[in-house]
Structure 1
Amino acid sequence: MYSKELTKGTLLPIILKLLNDSDKMYGYEITQKVKELTVGKIDISEGGLYPILHKMEHQGVLETEKVYIGKRVRKYYKVTKTGKKVIAEKINEINDFIETLTLIFNPKTLAE
């Protein structure tokens, strides 16, 4: 598993990418999907996830839908039209960042 210091700056684009690729997701589902896709190397805690989700909801990037399951309420997050533009920007930014890190840590890869 990667350290929290290493993954902290990538949580926002990871969450946005997952939400963009699906119709809607709830918090626990997001954490489990990240674990599954990264084979357990990235573990998003609730303490790391929900502040990001709430901030994006407040900014209009995400909207929520409450679904009642028995006596429990599940809050689903969905990308807004405004959020689609933000996602495109964040995905471009993270891809550029990965390429830049490759220049530093794996320069031979780019030369081949």
Structure 2
Amino acid sequence: MGNQKLYKGSLQTIILKLLETNDKMYGYEITQHVKELTKGELQITEGALYPALHKLEADGLLAVEVAKVGNRLRKYYKLTESGTKETANKLEEMQEFLKTMQHLVNPKFSME
């Protein structure tokens, strides 16, 4: 993706959706999963990811589990009950936004 700034407003939605699908994940795993799913088009930096994760946690949407892996501690993030509800809201908002953008950018191919 030529403009990485386009995804910034969608980062929380991306994180919530991944956690809905994968139950629990740690930070690096999230970045790699996004990179893999988008065939390298979207690369989330640690500088963008961790503030987003901390905000979602502070908002009560994520819970954190700490596990010892080898000789390191690893933080796993998972959705709370509120996080599950907010994921559905965010995905609905995203679908409406994409539909609106489709109308603006390519009205001939809009579905309504």
Unaligned runs of 5+ in 1: none
Unaligned runs of 5+ in 2: none
Report the identity percentage.
53
- Structure 2 CA distance, aligned partners of 1:111 and 1:14? 24
Aligned twin of 2:106: 106
Normalised by the length of structure 2, the TM-score is 0.95
- Given that residues 12 and 56 in structure 2 are in contact (C-alpha distance below 8 angstroms), is that contact kept between their aligned partners in structure 1? no
Aligned twin of 1:32: 32
DSSP-derived class of the 1:39 partner: coil
- Structure 1 CA distance, aligned partners of 2:70 and 2:26? 16
What RMSD in Å do the two structures reach over aligned CA positions?
A: 1.2
Normalised by the length of structure 1, the TM-score is 0.95
- Structure 2 CA distance, aligned partners of 1:60 and 1:52? 13
- Given that residues 35 and 41 in structure 1 are in contact (C-alpha distance below 8 angstroms), is that contact kept between their aligned partners in structure 2? yes
- Structure 2 CA distance, aligned partners of 1:101 and 1:48? 24
DSSP-derived class of the 2:12 partner: helix
For these two proteins, the number of residue pairs brought into alignment is 112
Query: What is the letter of the counterpart of residue 94 of structure 1?
Result: M
DSSP-derived class of the 1:89 partner: helix
Query: What is the letter of the counterpart of residue 106 of structure 2?
Result: N
Q: CA deviation at 1:111?
A: 5.4
Structure 1's consecutive aligned runs of 4 or more residues displaced over 6 angstroms after TM superposition are: none
DSSP-derived class of the 1:6 partner: helix
DSSP-derived class of the 2:60 partner: coil
Q: CA deviation at 1:104?
A: 0.7
Aligned twin of 1:22: 22
Query: What is the letter of the counterpart of residue 92 of structure 2?
Result: N
